Structures are given as structure tokens and as C-alpha cells.
Chain A
Amino acid sequence: MGSFIVKRLFLAVVTIVGVSIIVFVCARLSGDVTFLLLPTDATEQDIRNIRQSLGLDQPLWVQFMRFVAAVFHGDFGESIKYQVPAMDLVVARIPATVQLTLSAFFISIVVGIPLGVVAALRRNSVSDWTIRSVAVLGQSMPNFWIGLMLILLFAVKLQWLPSSGRGGFSHLILPAFTLALFGIAAIMRVTRSSLLEQLDMDYVRFLSSKGLSARLILWKHMLRNAIIPVLALCGVLLANLIGGAVIIEAVFNWPGLGSLVVESVVGRDYPVIQAAVILTSVFLILLNLSIDVAFGVVDPRIRYQ
């Protein structure tokens, strides 16, 4: 178990370095940033000075080492647009994104699992067919467009809910639900197929052969076994929701990380973007690491391998 954690930890660090390389390379690709920082009438000397102060006159590998060191200190430079540390800007937006993502995650599970169970138990019925069709249809729609259509219906036509911004609970409903649609479909599909898979397993037939009622077998044994693949999906789902939140925040003007990033890309505010990308990635890497470890603790079979 100990060596398992150490190995996963090592891989996590390697992955973080890999992400840093990508961000660093993209920063170089974006060309000379000095003109963004200087007035148009700057002299040669001004440019040389600022290049020196930014370390751009150093060899590439030195620049990269400095970059990595800065990243580990949480120093991503100043936002070009706001003239404050990029890190502070990003951190200020985190609570809004966490609220949106976790709400969507919660909705996905609370709606997705029961739908999947119903679809599996009434397989090939009208309700199963309907649930699955809606899931397939939902996964074929761009979620930002669904968001717009929901705004059109609930905010513009019916005027039940606000169309954008962050405020009370009513502001959260539309963006969280839009973001959750993908998760509902994914969780529902996995729950359904996982539960159906249990039906033909020997342990279920053995439980039946003991004369236990179908209801007890379902609620006590099958659901518990069927839920394991669903839990395994949760890490991937959370990562997908964080990615999806970028666009949804832009659609609903939700003041989180996503709308900050979209705003920054238009203004080519590179320090802010790299801070957001690296922080998000580190979060996801640590999330996956803890999920791996948690599975080792929870499932006795993994622990013994």
C-alpha cells in the first residue's frame, strides 16, 4: 500500500512537470510579449531592459527552470490587463467555479443514478427507451447551446429565472442544471449497464438459488456492486465538469475561473491563463491521486493486490 502511494505520487509530480512544459512552450509560441507591456514609443534600450528584467535574454533551459521554480511558488507574473498578480485573480474566482461544479456534480448523481436504475429494471420498456433516447440526444447537443435555449425559455419567455450572473439560489439553477446534463447522461448510462451486468453474474443467481426475494437481492446486493463502476466514473466526471464549466460560465456570465479565462484569451492575458491552467491541472492530478488511494482503502480486493 505504501509503495503504491509513493509510485502514484511520483507519477503525479511527473505529470505536473509535463503540464508545466506545455504551458511554457505555449508561452514561447505566443511570441514576444514585451510589446504588450510597453508604450508604442519605447526605445531599443527600454525593450532590452524589460527583456532582461523578465529573464528573456537567458538560454531557454534557464528560462524553463526559473519558470518551474516560479510555478512551485505560485508566482505566475502580473496580469497584463489588471496589473495585479495573476494568481490572486485566479484564486478570487475559485469559489464561484467550485460552487457551480459541485452543484452540477451533485445533480448528476442524484438524478443520474435513479434514472439508470429505473432504465435497468424496466429494460426495453417505454421508460427505458425514453430515458436512453433523451440521454443520447442530450449528449449530441452542444451544452452551451442548451444553456442558451434554457435562457430563452426560462429567462426570456417565462421570466422565471435570471439569465446570468451570480447571486441567490435562483442564479445557480440554470447554469448548474445545464452543466449537469452531460453528467446525468453519463452516470445514468454507467448505472444502467453496470446494473444489467450484475443480473447475469453468478453471485446474483446464487442469491436467487438461496430463495431470497428479488427485491432483497436488488437493494442489498446488486445496487451495492453496481455502484462501484459509478464511483470510479466520478473522478472523470468531475474533471469533465470543470472543463465544461469554462463554457457554461461564459454563457451565463458566471464570475468563475472559466469566464476569467475566456475574458483573458480575448485580451491575450497570458499570465492569467497559465495560472488558471496549471492550478486546474494540479487540482485534477491531486484529485485523481486521492481517488486512486481512496479506492485502495475502500475496496478490500484492491487493497490485497
Chain B
Amino acid sequence: MNMIDTQAKRKTTVSQDPPAFLHVDNLRTEITSRRSGRVVRAVNGVSFRLERGRILGIVGESGCGKSMTAYSIIRLLPRSARTVGGRIELEGVDLLALREGEMAKLRGTRIAMIFQDPMMTLDPLFTIGDQLAEPLRKHKGLSGGPLRERMLELLRQFSISSPETRLRQYPHELSGGMLQRVVGAIALAADPELVIADEPTTALDPTVQAQYLDLLDNLKKSRDLSLIIVTHDFGVAARLCDDILVMYAGRAVEKAPVEATFDTPLHPYTQALLKLVNLSDTDGGDHFVTIEGSPPDLSEPIEGCPFAPRCPHKMPICADEDPPEFAVDSGAASCWLYSETAT
């Protein structure tokens, strides 16, 4: 198979699909280092689809570009990063083509975001009440008594104890688990349809983690939400997600329904990751196991498959040509193993 065939195949798969709720196509985001001026291709041609009412987990090691993918969608990248190509369509509207003012109107009302560390997510100098009232005032036009009623109702929906007190408290007065619920309540205050959560439970205690995941699951059902969960933790993904997207070196290497990912992982990278999860589970998860070798430097051009240097099933073609996406059963993988002709 040569490069022209690869490109042709990619194109046809895209145009044949029916319109999705969220459709990310060939997204590319770069980070420019302020010191050295080097350009890191953090997200390099990621495509995926998300239907209404489903939860997609984006999984990968740190630095694989999963968070940058999430920030690209809501267009809240750090100053050093920039989306340089691709399309992000929310019900047919290309978000990347919107002006900043139009995009701002969608934030909070259609797309919302939950961050990793709840201690850092809220403004430390304002009370919970102040920060919860902002989106309700702006998007719902509430004020006075109805505003207060709605705030209390939201806090109760998120199982937050003594909501009246919480409104008067400052972020540092609440525990991490409680704060992350507050963050959820604020993010969902203006009834968004798509919520992006970047490692929402990483900063929480294990017991609190489980409760929070249950909460997200319930909310998804009661509100018909679509969720994107970015996580490095397969446990979180397995518990909550409908579909899994595995990222490596800025690319989506495998996409599949959650059961398929765990039962029959396609990509050698996914297989290796899951092996690690099982290993550390049987050991009690105490010590840290890693895949041999390290991810490639994303500021250098990569020849062939980015995982090839660490791959146990490496073939001659892997070093020369970047694998396209091959549909396999219910999922897809970017790996030459699934090509009938590759050697």
C-alpha cells in the first residue's frame, strides 16, 4: 500500500459517516515553547465522533496530547498553544471558524469544562455563591430570590450538604471532593449539552473519586449530557465511558466501544497499557511499571509509526510509513498489523 491509497481511504471513511453531535476532524494543535521557540505538535491529526448522551474517554500517558485535544474543542488553550488545522463541528457548526465573541456565547450554554484540580479551578478571592451566580445571571437572567433558589437547587443536585452555608464560603474552606462537586454545579448551571472533563478525579481521594464518577453518570442520564472524559486512568474510563479513544504522541491510535477496548485491544500500545494496568492491579498497584522506552520528541519530525521504536510487533514498514486508520470489528486502529498487504 502506498501513501496515495492511505489518504484516499481516510477521506472516504469521513464523508460516508452520518452527521454527528460532535465531529472532530483532523485536529492539529501546536505548542510553541517560549524559551527555545521550538514547536511541539501536541495534537497531530486527531479525528473522532461523539453522539448525544454518550461518554467518550480519551486515554493516554501524560504528554500524549489528550488535554490539548480537550482544550482545543472549547478553545481555551494556554497562551503558548494554537490550533493550526482541522474542523470541530458541533451539530454541523464549525467551532474553529467562529469569532471569539460567538464562541464565548456557546461556552457555558452548550459546552462546559471541568478541570483537574478543584482547588485551582475557582477564584480563591470570591465565595462559592458569587461564582455560582455568575453563569446564572449571565445566561439565565436570574437575580434575587429566584437566583438563590436555583443556586440551592443546583448544589442539592450535586449532593452538596448544607447548601446555604456553602454559598457564603470561600473555596479554601471546602474539601477537594466537595469543591469538585461545586465546580460541576457551576459548569452545568446554564445547562450545557457537552461537558469536557480533564482528569476530573485525579486530585481526589479514591473513595471520593468513586462517588464523583457515580454523580457524573447520574447527571448524564438525567440531563442527556454528552461527556468527554480525559484521563490517564483506565479504571475511570472503564467505569464511566461508552467509547474509548487511545492517544499516543498526539495521534488517536485506537477507537472502540469500551468493552471491545478491554476485551480485544487492537493497537500494541493499548495492549501494553492494559497489561500494565492488570500487572499493577495484581500487585496491589504499589509499584510503578512502565512500557520500555519513551514517547518520541514531538518537536522533531517523526518517520513511520510513532510507536514503532517501542513496539513488540514491529514490521519493516512501521519505520517508514505512518499507518492510516484501519477499521477492525466495532473499532479502528492506526496500526499496520491490520493491513492485509503490509509487511
Contact = CB atoms under 8 A, between A and B. Distances in A.
A contacts B directly in the complex (CB < 8 Å)?
A: yes
Interface residues of B, number: 36
A218 to B, nearest CB: 12
B49 interface: no
A244 B72 CA distance: 50
B123 A203 contact: yes
Contacts of A214: 104
B125 interface: yes
Contacts of A216: 134
A211 B123 contact: no
A202 B121 contact: yes
A209 B124 contact: no
Given A211-B139, A225-B124, A202 B78 contact: no
B242 to A, nearest CB: 23
B305 interface: no
Contact of A210 (B71, B79, B125, B135): B135
B186 interface: yes
A208 B105 CA distance: 10
A213 B105 CA distance: 9
Nearest to A224: B125
A209 B109 contact: no
A35 interface: no
Contacts of B38: none
Contacts of B111: 209
A103 B103 CA distance: 46
A210 B112 CA distance: 7
Contacts of A224: 125
A257 to B, nearest CB: 38
B104 A225 contact: no
A202 B200 CA distance: 13
B125 A206 contact: no
Nearest to B112: A209
B107 A210 contact: yes
Interface string A275-305: 0000000000000000000000000110010
Given A206-B183, A300-B170, A212 B138 contact: yes
Interface in B105-127: 105-109, 111-113, 115-117, 120-126
Given A208-B76, A301-B172, A221 B106 contact: no
Nearest to A123: B79
Interface in A29-49: none
A122 interface: no
B74 interface: yes
Contact of B125 (A208, A209, A213, A225): A225
B187 A300 contact: no
Given A203-B123, A210-B190, 12 more contacts: A203-B120, A206-B113, A206-B121, A206-B187, A209-B108, A209-B187, A211-B106, A211-B139, A214-B104, A225-B125, A300-B170, A300-B173
Interface of B: 71, 74, 76, 78-79, 104-109, 111-113, 115-117, 120-126, 134-135, 138-139, 170, 172-173, 183, 186-187, 189-190
25 contacts: A202-B116, A202-B120, A202-B121, A203-B120, A203-B121, A206-B121, A206-B183, A206-B187, A207-B134, A208-B76, A209-B76, A209-B112, A210-B112, A210-B186, A211-B105, A211-B109, A211-B135, A211-B139, A212-B135, A213-B104, A221-B126, A224-B125, A225-B125, A304-B172, A304-B173
Interface of A: 199-203, 205-214, 216, 221, 224-225, 300-301, 304
